Chains A and B, each alone.
Chain A
C-alpha cells in the first residue's frame, strides 16, 4: 500500500517537474512534450528546453538519492542519529574551496583549460577536509566514533569560517553567486547527459556497495563496541564507509552546492517506514531522497516564477518543508508506540 503511494507520488512529481517552469506555460509544455515524444517536429530550441528540464529532473533525483544515502551511511557509521552528509566537514570544505577560488579569480584560470572552476575548487576543498578527518579516523581505536564527530564538526566549523571570510572579501557581484551556491541550488545551465552520467555512476556505485555490505552497517549502527565484539574490524569499515559517503556527497555538492536537511531526515523517515535493516532501507532511502529533492526543486522553480522572487534556493525549500513535516511524522510515531 505504502509503496503504491510512493510510486504515484514519484510519478506525479516527475511529470510536474517536466511541465512546470518559467520558460513555457503549463499548457504549452504539455503539448510540446506530446509532440516531442511522438516524434513530431518541434523547434530545436524548444527541444533543448524540454531536454534541459528532463536532465535537471534526473540530476535532482540523483542528488537527492546521493545525499540521503550518504546521511544513512554516516548515521550508521557514527552511530549518531543527528549525522548528516556534511557532519564531517565535506560541505564546508567544498564551500571554502569555491569561495577562495572566487576570491582569487581561479575559475577564470580553469575555464581557460575547459574545466569548471567550481568543480575543481569544490572537490579540492572537500578532499582536504575529508583527508584530515580520515587521518583522525585511522588513528582512533575502535571505541571513538564520538571523537570522530567532534573532529568533523571542528574541521567543518573551521572551513566554514574560512569560506565566510573569503566570501566577505570577494567582489560584491560574486558574493551573491557564491552564497546561493552554498545554500544549494539547481539553477545551473550545465544539466545534461554527461553530468548526469557521472553523477549516476557515483550514486550507483555507492548504492551497490552499500547494499552489498549492509551487514556491516547494521552492526555499526548498534554501536562500535557491539560491532567490535561481533567480529567487525571497526576502524577499517569506518574509514571505508566514510570514504563512500564522502564520494557520493562530494559528487552532489560540486553540482548543486550544499542542499541541506535531506541527508538528515530522509534516512529517519525511511527507517520509520521500513525498519533499520540496511538492505531494504538503502533502497527506500534512495527513492525518498530522490523524491524529496525533485519536489523541492520543482516547488522552488515554480514559486520563484509565480511570486517573482529573486531566488529560492532548493536547500532552503528542503529545510522549510522537511523540518515541520518530519516533526509531524515523528510525533505521530511516538504516540503510536
Chain B
C-alpha cells in the first residue's frame, strides 16, 4: 500500500513540475491549431506542424535548427548566421527592419519574431492577418521557456526537453568549475565612443555571474548602458572582454591610464569571443558561458584541452 502511495505522490510531483515548466504556456490541442500565449502576452492560435515558417529572430533560428525543425523554415533575417546552412535561405530584411512585403509575399503560415525590438512589427504583421509568435529570451529562464514553446509549436517536445536539459547541465557544470575559484571583476565593453557595457537584466550579465565573475557594470540602470571611463578605472577589473569590433587590445592599452588596470597588466583582455555566443540566447549559450569561464580562468582551458 505504501508503495502505491509513494508512487502516486511521485507521479503527482512529476506532473506538478511538468505543469510548472509550462506555466507560461497554456498548450491545448484543439482541431488543427494550438493556442499559446507568447512573450508579449498575446494569445495566438498556431497551426499544428507549420510548414512555412519565417524567423525574424536569429535566436529562434538557432533553436529551431537545434530542435531539428528547420525543414519548415523558409526565410530568415540577414543577421542569421548559425548554423552555416541558414545562409542559403532567402532573407527578408534585417533584424531592425524586416521587410514587410517580403514576408507577406512568401505567404508564411507562421512568423516568429523577437518580443522586445520587433514588437511594433509584430503588431503590423498581425493586423495583416499573419500568425505571429513573439519570443523574448531576455535571460536563461526565459530562454528555457521559449525553447519549450518552440518545441510545442513544432511538435518537437522531446527534443526541446533534451535541449533544456543539456543547457541546464552545461550551465551547472560551468557553475561547478567556477565555484571554488576566486571571482574576478569583469568589464565587458560593447562600445567605446561613448563607453558602454552590460548591466543587470542582460543575458551577458547573467552569464558572467554563472561563469563566476563580478560584472563591474551590474548596477547600471539599463541592460546595455553607458559607463564613465572613470568608473572602469576605479573598479580596476581583472578581466576585460571586448565585445565589439572597434577596439583591439593594443588600442585599449593605448588609452591614457588604462595600462594600469589589472586586466591589462595581467594580459587578461579578451576579444576573441564570438559576440553571438554571449549576446544571443540560444543553444550555444553554454558555449558562451564556457568561453567566459576560460577568459576568467585561462588555466581551465588548458585542462579542457588536455582532457580531450
Contacts and interface: CB of A to CB of B under 8 A. Distances in A.
A107 B255 contact: no
Interface in A80-123: 105, 107-108, 110-112, 114, 116-118
Contacts of B200: none
Interface of B is mostly: loop
A192 B225 CA distance: 23
A22 B217 CA distance: 12
Contacts of A181: 193-194
Contact of B226 (A170, A191, A192, A310): A310
B95 interface: yes
Nearest to A51: B257
Interface stretch (B173-181, B244-252, B300-308): B244-252
A160 B12 CA distance: 63
Contacts of B196: 176-177, 180
Nearest to B116: A172
Nearest to B232: A189
A44 to B, nearest CB: 4
B195 A111 contact: no
B96 interface: yes
Nearest to B219: A308
A55 interface: yes
B195 A188 contact: yes
B260 A44 contact: yes
A243 to B, nearest CB: 26
A49 B257 contact: yes
B279 interface: yes
B191 interface: yes
A311 B197 CA distance: 12
A188 B233 contact: no
Interface in B178-208: 190-196
Contacts of B230: 21-24, 49, 52-53
Interface residues of A, number: 51
A301 B191 contact: no
Contact of A168 (B96, B224, B231): B96
Given A23-B230, A189-B258, A192-B255, A111 B95 contact: no
B117 interface: yes
A189 B192 contact: yes
B245 A111 contact: yes
Contact of A23 (B94, B96, B228): B228
A48 B258 contact: yes
Contacts of A110: 246
A172 B222 CA distance: 14
B229 interface: yes
B258 A309 contact: no
Interface string B243-277: 01111101100011111110000000000000000
Nearest to B220: A310
Contact of B257 (A24, A52, A187): A52
Interface of A: 21-24, 44-45, 47-49, 51-53, 55, 105, 107-108, 110-112, 114, 116-118, 168-177, 180-181, 185, 187-194, 301, 304-305, 308-311
Given A49-B233, A49-B257, A180-B194, 5 more contacts: A108-B244, A169-B94, A188-B192, A308-B221, A310-B220
28 contacts: A21-B230, A22-B231, A23-B230, A24-B230, A45-B257, A48-B258, A52-B257, A111-B246, A112-B248, A118-B193, A168-B97, A169-B94, A169-B97, A170-B96, A171-B95, A173-B191, A173-B279, A174-B191, A177-B192, A177-B194, A180-B196, A189-B192, A191-B229, A193-B256, A304-B228, A308-B220, A310-B226, A311-B225
Interface of B: 79, 94-97, 117, 190-196, 220-222, 224-234, 236, 244-248, 250-251, 255-261, 279
